[in-house]
Chains A and B, each alone.
Chain A
Amino acid sequence: MIHVISSVNRHLYEDVLEQHFRVRHEIFVEERKWEALRKPDGREVDTYDNEDAVYLLALENRRVLGGSRLYPTTKPTMMSEVFPHLAAVRGCPSNPLVWEWSRFFVTRERRDGAFNWQLMAGAQEFCLDQGIERLCLVMETWWLPRFHEIGFVVTPLGLPAMIENSWTMAATIEVRQESLDAVCDRIGMTKVLQQDGPRIDCVARANLCGLAAQRKSA
């Protein structure tokens, strides 16, 4: 199952989160060679790994097999701060109902199509449940046909550009019941999320982040 981990229930998952930072380093730095993310302690942690991040982690007996991260766009995001040129045509979203989706990974042992789809289903299921309308993301462009294949509605925000030797683009993905149904049909599951402990209210949280940003700029 895919576990939802946020600041309100992370006390149940400290060991898992710690493991997940190491897995991320293993995959993004050691394997995919994103050298900018290299850390001496072998934990891939960035500015957006803070109290407003929500992690969707696929666990098997508390072992991290894959996952992704969600982050409110009412705060500065990776897209708006690091890759704004990728969204040059339509602009970076900033909206409590749009969350940034990043750090999608699958450990080497689980790189089959069905497992990827489970993680995609997890994001759709979570957002539907939370009332999030769209995800925005920076992705390698070869992901686009994969999202298309599963029936996700993906809208580009700009043209692809070469980043770290990969064509990379910014886009939004619609959160839709049909998209979730389509991917669940493929994997033969009706539900992929497990939510233990207190639950976060993402839209309220994003609104709060937006208010704080307003106050700062005032």
Chain B
Amino acid sequence: MSTVDYGREALDFIEGLGAYTKVPDAMDALATAFGRYGFEHIIVTGLPNPDQRFSQMVLAKKWPAEWFSLYTQKGYDRVDPVIRKCRQTVNPFEWSEAPYDPDQEPGAVEVMRRAADFRMSRGFVVPIHGLTGYEAGVSLGGVHLDLNARSKPALHLIGMYGFDHIRRLLEPAPDRSMRLTPREREALAWASQGKSAWEIGEILHITQRTAEEHLATAARKLGAVNRTHAVAIAIRHRIITP
């Protein structure tokens, strides 16, 4: 295929992703798309911090069950050079490009060798780095891969869109009741600065009564027991900035 063919196929797939409204359907579609490049296994996952467990970070996967249990039981995520490199770069890479020292890191040798036992002798990773510092990645494995300078940009883009789609499907629908009106938010922001309802009324050019109503509605929407509690919740959820 030419670069433009790869591009058209990838973009058509990305534009069609929205049609999959359930995670298993979206994963099946991704498996088919990545399968065209020879990939047999997919994992969509956040990268665990030292105090997090790998199994809790996985968003979706098509991995051999036996490999997943081996990977988690042995704590391979702690020694996997692919995970290490995924944290350090925003560029997609082949597993073989994740460096490790075979003499000093027997764990890394083991995880790479065992992966090959499960038909994952080669692989490709698309790292995802969010603005608030979350780290994630889409990792693809297989044996006979169509992995070259023309296919990699297509895999890069499908990986990023695939990640975003899975993430959004897993997110609980935003709680509409938590949504404050701009006025409620403003009133709450002033309350967080220690202003009374009378003062807030003066600042916002509304009556004290209206200011009180805004604060009461905001508190109710946030499930707060009083004004102070509402301010605390609003700051915690970054509805207002302290």
Contact = CB atoms under 8 A, between A and B. Distances in A.
Contacts of A190: 182, 185-186
Nearest to B3: A159
Nearest to A90: B11
Contacts of A169: 157
Given A113-B131, A155-B15, A161-B153, A144 B160 contact: yes
Interface string A126-145: 00000000000000111011
The interface size bin for chain A is 20 to 34
Interface in A11-50: none
B241 A188 contact: yes
B17 to A, nearest CB: 11
A185 interface: yes
Given A145-B163, A161-B153, A167-B156, A156 B132 contact: no
A145 B164 contact: yes
A150 interface: yes
Main secondary structure on B side of the interface with A: helix
Interface in B134-160: 134, 153-154, 156-157, 160
Nearest to B9: A89
Contacts of B91: 167
Interface residues of B, number: 36
B6 interface: yes
A146 B182 CA distance: 25
A155 B132 CA distance: 22
Interface in B176-220: 179, 182, 185-186, 189
A116 interface: yes
A113 B160 contact: no
A15 B61 CA distance: 55
8 contacts: A88-B3, A88-B7, A149-B130, A158-B11, A159-B153, A160-B153, A160-B157, A167-B92
